[in-house]
Structure formats: structure tokens, C-alpha cells
Structure 1
Amino acid sequence: MTIADLITTVTEGAVPMRVEAADGSVVGSSDEGLTLRLHTERALRYLITAPGDLGLARAYVSGELELVGAHPGDPYTALCALANWNFRRPPLSEFPALAQQLGVRNLLPPKPPPQEAPSRIRRAVNGLRHSRTRDSRAIGMHYDVSNTFYEYVLGPSMAYTCAVFDKPDTSLDDAQYEKFDLVARKLGLEPGMRLLDVGCGWGGMARHAARNYGVDVVAVTLSAEQAAWAKAETERVGLAEHVTIIHGDYRDSPGRDYDAVSSIGLLEHVGVANYAAYFELLRGKLRPGGRLLNHCITRPDNKTSPMPGAFIDRYVFPDGELTGAGRIIAEAQDAGFEVRHEENLREHYALTLMHWSANLVANWDACVAEVGLPTARVWGLYMAGSRLGFERNVVQLHQVLAINPHPSGEADFPLRPTW
């Protein structure tokens, strides 16, 4: 049996692109300008021994599978075609014959690429999921790759969260400015207020609030590289008197009686089982009448397992978890918050990812020189795949605005939204 024969056996309908295998066999059409090229027998072993996105990622990241016709910094068109590939699971009666034709060697998994994180079970040596030690390692794997690399991909804003676009052709920098400003407006920031920004990244929200709203900010990130960059940039732009950057766990955020708390892209790393403690902690940081804006990726329902797919878990966000906006709102309410507004920005994140992918393509050689070809391939694959996920409503992005009400029930909130 050739590899092309095997692909035909497990495909229902037409193969959506040309496939060129290491054994010289070919299947499918190149009419769409796309070719999936398996350079080695090892690539096939990756695909067979880890079906789904993990096997594909292993072969692609290692360079043993190539998507010809799609730039590795933005393989979006190839992923669209792959998403339309209809596979069929052979019946049990066919397995013995298939196993015999494939040979024992092809049923043994090769060693994963070094960019892959250990399995969830093996990560337990670093502590229970979402313990401080294990969270620190997980955050470091993703965010401490290279500040220079992120500068190439994110652009001047250094904002690594969903932007807000007034129209489709709005620039990325303008859209990221609008995201920070929308958060500030929803929080009702005014001069002299105190803001706690948890999961602050490279400090974009903190600097925006201090520069444009006269707010004093305490900003916390668990990434050492982010904290170092944010401190240097805050000092460079003359805002160090009003912005304090802390390298640490959000659970150790100092102070109380803040006027507002912003959490932009943190909840994905907290763990669903820890939502109650998360919202209780943040409510305890707010004065009565203070506001919380929670901005995070979500699922389109509240019943799907919060665990991510294997590729995201092993290569992108180890221990990350997602659930629906309903679960988030329920947990916030149960912690004593009064939820006042909710907004889904799903299409905005697809546009944001399109811009990041374009930046990666434009700076491809420099990015590869900075982090290496396999890591650059991981980011290209993950951003293009995430864009497709937001477009197809596999994932969403929700902002939830909540208030810590006064004991009397007063909310210090206008009759109609002002933002």
C-alpha cells in the first residue's frame, strides 16, 4: 500500500489538496495551488501515531511536512482546506490489514520536536495544575520566548490581546488603541483614580490609562520578560511615577480599595475550577462601586470541556482553559459582582490575528533568526488556526463589565452606558 492509497482509504470524498508522499505516490489536485508534502517516512509516523492536530503539528514544526503554496508565517489558506478535509475512521474489520500493510515501525511514535511541552500528566512534576510553580512555567514557555520576536509580530502597541476595529480597514495600532480606550471608558476612569491591571502583559493598558486618563496604575504580570520590557518602556515614556510594574502572580497583587480592575487576557490561564477564587480576590481589591472589566477568549457554549486541543496545550498555552461567557458571568455573580454589560468581539479577534500573521510574514527572516525556524512555524500555525477558529465560531472573545456594589445596593453607575 502506498501512502497515497492510505490517504484515499481514510478520506471520505475528495482530497482537498495535492498530497506528495515520501514514497513518490501522489493523490489529490493542486487546482487550489496547495500541496501537502510529506518529506519523510517519519512525517507519516507522526500523523498515524497522533491523529488530529497534534500529529500534523509535530510533522509541520519539525519541517518534515510542508504546506507548499502557503507561507509558513501565515498558512491560513492551507488550514482552511485542511478544515474541509473529511476523514473517515476505518471499521475495526479493516484495522488488521491496514496495520500489516503499514508495518510495525509506522505504528511507533517518533520523539516529539523539542518545542513540545510535556503531557499534562508529566507536567505534574511541576505541581498541580494552576499551582503557582506550574503556572509560572506555563507562562514562561509562551510569553518569555523573546521580546524582540513579539515586537516584530505585535507591532508598536505590544498588545497581545484582541483589538477593537471601527471598520475592517482600521490599522492594527489604531485598533489596539481603541481596545485600551474602550476598556478605560467602560471602567469610567478619571484623573486621580487607582487602577489594578492584572495580567498586564507588556504594560499597554497601564500606560494608556496613566497617559490618557491621569490614573495611577499597579500592573502585574507573571512573565519575567514582559515585566522587564514593560518597566523599561514605562520609564522611557516618563510614566514611571504613575505606573508600577510588578513581576509576580496576580494572586499576590498588592493593595485594596482600587477604583477599577482590568483583566485583559488573564482568565484563560486561571483555570475554570479557580474562577470563584479569582473573582472573590478581585472583588476584594475593589472599593464599593468599583468596576471590573474582564476580557478573555471563550467558548461558544458552557458545556464543552475547558481543556484545549492537543496542539494548543502542547505548543502554545500549556494548562490553558476556556469556557463560555455564561459560566464566567455566573461565577462573577456568585462572587458578589453585579454584571452590567457583556460584549462579544469574536470577529475583531479574527482581524487582529490576520494582522499579526501579516507582521510575522513581513518579518519572517528576522523572526526565524530570533527564535529559530521551528518556533516561528509554531506561531504561524497557531495564529492562522486561531483566526480560522474565531471566524467559524469555534472560539469567541468576551468583555464582561461588573461592579462591586455598595452594601446598600448603590452601584455608582449611570442610567445608560457612557462609553
Structure 2
Amino acid sequence: MGVANAVGSFLGRAPGVRITAFDGSSGGNADAPVTVEIRSPRALNYIATAAGSLGLARAYISGDLEVQGDLYTAMTSLTDLDFDMSWPARFRALRELGGLKLLRPPPIPPMEVKLRGRRHSKARDQAAIAHHYDVSNKFYEWILGPSMAYTCAVYPTATSTLEEAQWAKHDLVARKLGLEPGMRLLDVGCGWGGMVIHAAQHYGVRAVGVTLSRRQAEWGQKAIADAGLTELAEIRHLDYRDVREEQFDAISSIGLTEHIGRAQLPGYFGSLYSRLRPGGRLLNHCITRPNNLEPAIRERQFINRYIFPDGELHGVGHLVSQMHDVGFEVRHEENLREHYAMTLNAWSANLDEHWDEAVAEVGQARARTWRLYLVGCQIGFERNNIQLHQVLGVKLHADQSSGMPLRPTWGA
């Protein structure tokens, strides 16, 4: 049967994908737009010893599996397939590929991480953030573009540029929070400072951002100085739980909740609530699951092993309930998942444009990990496997008044 056809038994028959293998065999449509190359026997070990997409990811990151053609097309075709083979079919394929020796675990690619210590302790959270963010500011500049915004953009039109969409996102958050000159804003998980800079520059707000990434804080502080905003804005290398000030007029949390953990959500929202003055607003912007039925943690998946260790996604209904339970009144909510698919597509294009520089900067394995991650997440948002929600809450005054406008003032 040959290696290519045996691997096809594992992967299924994707009409748009051709498979070739190191033994000279091939399978599938010869005219397919995408070819998956099985370059070495080790690729077979990866596929056989890790269920579903994790084995394929390990083989791709290590370079033992290659995709010729558009990776998005290949992943779209492969994710249409059912990886759940019957055991008789699995044994037949294993026997054809070399038998039980394939079940000997191969070396795990060095990009895979398993953290130590108590989950979501400050030390372990610091390690998780450092794994993903303390890579190379230059690498992120190539992917994210001038905005250095590493969260879902908001596209005013289908033809808007990434920079226009990131500006629109920051401005939407500012308008939802009702920012005005002289207000105090806390931005938790501030990244490279995009929201802090936008609020200070365009709304005259005194803004403080906090991040667990030292490299982000250093880059953001320089950007603030370069923009002449040091009197209004600052970024601290600090855990949000260690912010000492209180009585902020507004808090933005853009892409932090995914790192918090289900058990920590009451403390997280309670901490933000306690730092707001009455009438102050919280805008929580984060990736969510499409329902509350699936587990928040999936440790055996590629995304947890390689991209966001300890990441936990929740259904938006659970997040809204948690906000309510600590005292927030939720006033507005919207799903922006299509916008995130468009954002990821733009980041993928940026990475491809700077591919050679990216490989030289961070290495082949990390660059391939990121290529896989960006394309896979784009497909996830397109297919409603994951969503992006903005939830706006307010801390009521003692008389239960909200200070909110009768109708939203931030546009459609």
C-alpha cells in the first residue's frame, strides 16, 4: 500500500490534498492544489503517538512533515475529516507503516512546554506569559504591524486595513468606556501599550497599563516616550493583582481573561470591581467558547502545548454571570468572531511577507509553530469553534443609578 496511502488511512481522504512520502509513494488527487509531504519515518511516529491534530502539529513543527501550497487550504481540508478510525483500521494502517515500533514516542519538539507549580499562581502565570510573549519584539512587529496590537481588530468595512481596524478597535473600547479628558484608565494585560497610548493621545486620559511580559513593558514605555505622552501614560511590568491604586474611572481588559483560569474568575472580576469608582465601567474583551458545555482546559491540544499554556476559554454566559455575581451590571455585549478571523488572516500575511527574517530571528521551529497557530485559529473563528466577545459592565452608584446613556453612544 505504501506510506502515503497508509497515512491517508489515518488522515482520511481529503479531495484537495495529495500525500507524498519518503518511500516514493503518493496518494490522492495528483492535481490537488496542496501536497502534504511525509519527509521521514519520524513523522509517522508523531502521527501514531498523538491523537488528532497534535501529532500532525508535532510533525510539521519539527519539519518532518511539509505542506506544499497554501497552508490554509490544507488545514481547511484536513479539519473537514474525521480522525476517529476504527481499531481494526488503525491496526491495519500501523502494520503497513511498520508495526508497533511506531508507538515508541519520538523526541518532542522543543517548542512544546509543560509548566510546573500550582496552576495560575503568580509564578506560573509569569512563566506562561513569558513563554508566549517574551520572544522577540522585532518578531511581533513583523506580524502585528505598526499598531503592535495583539488582539482582535474591529473592521469598519471588509476592505479596511489591519491598521485601520486596530485603531477602530481601540476607539470602540474608548467610546464604550465613555472616556473623557482627565479620567483615569487602568488597562490590564496591556500588551505593548496600544490601548494606553490611544486613550492618552486621543482622549486626554491618564492611563496605566500592566503586563507580565517584561519585553512588552520595555517596548511600550519607549513608545510612550516617543509619542510624548509620559505625563499621561505609563506601562508597568506588574501582575494586575498587585495594582495598588483604586478609584479608576474605567478599566479595559483586552485579551487577558483567557489567561485567568475558571477558578480565578470571581477574584479577577472582584479585583477589577474594587478598583473602580461608582459609575466606572469595565470593558472585557476576550476569546470564548461558543457554549458552556465544553471543558475550559484542553491540555492535550496543540494550542495548550505550544501557544498558550494554561489558557482557559469560557462561554460568554459564564463570564457574564461572574461579572454579575461580583456586582457589575452588564449593559452591552457583542460577538466579533468574524473580525478575529480577518485579523488572523492579516497577521498570517504579515508573517509570510517577513518569513525569512522571522526564521532568522526566532528559529525555524518557532516560526512554523506560529504559521500553524495563526491559520488554525483563523479557521476556528470562521467555523464558530471559538468566538470573541466584548462585554461592558458598570459599577452602580449607591442609589443603583448607572450613569449610562439611555442608548449606546458608540455607534452600531
Question: How does the TM-score come out when normalised to structure 1?
Answer: 0.94
Match of residue 215, structure 1, among 200, 205, 211: 205
Corresponding residue for residue 324 of structure 1: 315
Corresponding residue for residue 53 of structure 2: 53
Letter in 2 for 1:183: V
Match of residue 260, structure 2, among 270, 273, 291: 270
Query: Could you say what secondary structure the match of 1:339 adopts?
Result: strand
Letter in 2 for 1:152: W
CA distance in 2, matches of 1:30, 1:335: 59
Spell out the pairing of 1:41-190 with structure 2 (5 A cutoff). 41-70=41-70, 75-91=71-87, 93=88, 99-101=94-96, 102-118=98-114, 123=115, 126-190=116-180
Letter in 1 for 2:60: Y
Corresponding residue for residue 291 of structure 2: 301
Letter in 1 for 2:180: E
Alpha-carbon displacement from aligned partner over 1:106-139 (angstroms, at most 9, x marks no partner): 1111011111112xxxx3xx32111111000000
Spell out the pairing of 1:262-411 with structure 2 (5 A cutoff). 262-308=252-298, 310-411=301-402
Q: Does 1:232 align with 2:222?
A: yes
How far apart are 1:341 and its partner, in Å? 0.2
8 Å contact 1:12–1:88 — kept in the other structure?
Answer: no
CA distance in 1, matches of 2:359, 2:93: 39
CA distance in 2, matches of 1:158, 1:94: 48
Query: Unaligned regions of 5+ residues in structure 2, if any?
Result: none
Query: Unaligned regions of 5+ residues in structure 1, if any?
Result: none
How far apart are 1:105 and its partner, in Å? 2.0
Query: Could you say what secondary structure the match of 1:104 adopts?
Result: helix
Match of residue 408, structure 2, among 405, 408, 417: 417
CA distance in 1, matches of 2:305, 2:194: 28
How far apart are 1:4 and its partner, in Å? 3.1
Pick closer, same or farther for the CA change 1:24–1:158 going to 2, 3 Å. Answer: same
Letter in 1 for 2:263: A
Alpha-carbon displacement from aligned partner over 1:270-297 (angstroms, at most 9, x marks no partner): 0011111101000000000100000000
CA distance in 2, matches of 1:144, 1:333: 34
Q: Does 1:199 align with 2:179?
A: no
How far apart are 1:31 and its partner, in Å? 2.6
CA distance in 1, matches of 2:320, 2:334: 12
CA distance in 2, matches of 1:14, 1:200: 41
Alpha-carbon displacement from aligned partner over 1:28-67 (angstroms, at most 9, x marks no partner): 1143311000100001110010121211111101111000
CA distance in 1, matches of 2:371, 2:47: 19
How far apart are 1:268 and its partner, in Å? 0.3
8 Å contact 2:247–2:275 — kept in the other structure?
Answer: yes
How far apart are 1:401 and its partner, in Å? 0.2
How far apart are 1:98 and its partner, in Å? 5.2
CA distance in 2, matches of 1:112, 1:377: 15
Q: Does 1:32 align with 2:11?
A: no
Pick closer, same or farther for the CA change 1:8–1:229 going to 2, 3 Å. Answer: closer
CA distance in 2, matches of 1:87, 1:31: 24
Query: Could you say what secondary structure the match of 1:7 adopts?
Result: helix
Aligned length: 408
8 Å contact 1:200–1:264 — kept in the other structure?
Answer: yes
How far apart are 1:241 and its partner, in Å? 1.1
Letter in 1 for 2:110: P
- Bigger relative contact order (CA 8 A; separation at least 6): 1
The percent identity for this pair of structures is: 53
Pick closer, same or farther for the CA change 1:276–1:27 going to 2, 3 Å. Answer: same
Query: Could you say what secondary structure the match of 1:218 adopts?
Result: strand
CA distance in 1, matches of 2:224, 2:8: 57
8 Å contact 1:261–1:282 — kept in the other structure?
Answer: yes
CA distance in 2, matches of 1:236, 1:11: 51
Pick closer, same or farther for the CA change 1:8–1:149 going to 2, 3 Å. Answer: closer
CA distance in 1, matches of 2:33, 2:226: 47
CA RMSD of aligned residues (A): 1.5
Pick closer, same or farther for the CA change 1:292–1:183 going to 2, 3 Å. Answer: same
Alpha-carbon displacement from aligned partner over 1:369-413 (angstroms, at most 9, x marks no partner): 111111111111100110010001000000000001112101111
